Amino acid sequence: MLMVRCAAKVNLCLDILGRRSDGYHDLRSLMVAVSAWDELHIVLSDRFGLEDEAGQPLPQSNTVWRAAHLLAQEVGIPPNFTVRLIKRIPSEAGLGGGSSDAAGMLKALQKLWRLRWSWRRLVPLAARIGADVPFFLVPTGAAIAEGIGERLTPLRLPTLWMVLVMPEATMPTKDAFDLWDAHPTQVDADPMALAEALFRGDWTQVRRHTQNAFEPLIATRIPSVTDLKARLMAAGAMAAVMSGSGTSVVGLFTDAMAARRALKMVRPFAAWGTVARSVRRSIVLRWGRKG
């Protein structure tokens, strides 16, 4: 059995530059992979099957199903595997769980089929599944993302400790972009300046650039986003921002102990929460025993 761990991501800053003629949006973001994980368990089979942790079949619209069949079409090999998807990353949270799962499937098949492709060769295929999928192929675990997310500049950042919390309410990505289209909002989010500030430990500049163009719009609809952000700051976060299209909020801390203390303070007010650190491998593959 091939076991695949698929990391979550956070957007430490996110600016939307405008809507394109094809309906997509140009954006600019600093994205970081973090230690909250989904898993794929993959075994040989006579046909492709995708199921949840309880063994129930998942639909063809699932990103894992789409990733497997897109790569199979590309290389002309049938994806004869059964895949069990174990979800731990909450959905509609701005943490990229579905995108990470798709990237995990691509990387798994690349290994199983011994495809000597660079990560950049997989990017166009990944972008057909979703705008965040290419990020999870980056070998450094952090990148500046531009275009619709397919133009990636890999970065190496220092280890970052953070608290991720999420309110009960969620926000589908399409609804978030519809909100932005109705009320276009831009922010002072410079991904490279933010990355440099993180290296220097310049928290004043980090706070300046940890901005998300979706946040003021979504917080108007879901005030608990603002509440959780304020609670993280009161608990000692050096900076806090909503991730992606929401509704999770990430707080940055100086070390693991400070993050754990803060989670204890904020967790009673959140529907979900965890301490996480940045990781340099978004997708981790290892062999294990079936069952």
Enumerate the active-site residues.
Answer: 9, 132
Tell me, letter by letter, the H, E, C secondary structure of the chain.
CEEEEEEEEEEEEEEEEEECCCCCEEEEEEEEEEEEEEEEEEEECCCCEEECCCCCECCCCCHHHHHHHHHHHHHCCCCCEEEEEECCCCCCCCCCHHHHHHHHHHHHHHHHCCCCCCHHHHHHHHHHHCCCHHHHHCCCCEEEEEECCCEEEECCCCCCEEEEEECCCCCCHHHHHHHHHHCCCCCCCCHHHHHHHHHHCCHHHHHHHCCECCHHHHHHHCCHHHHHHHHHHHCCCCEEEECCCCCCEEEEECCHHHHHHHHHHHHHHCCEEEEEEECCCCEEEEECCCC
* Alpha-carbon distance values, 271 to 115, 121, 191, 220 (Å): 41, 38, 29, 19
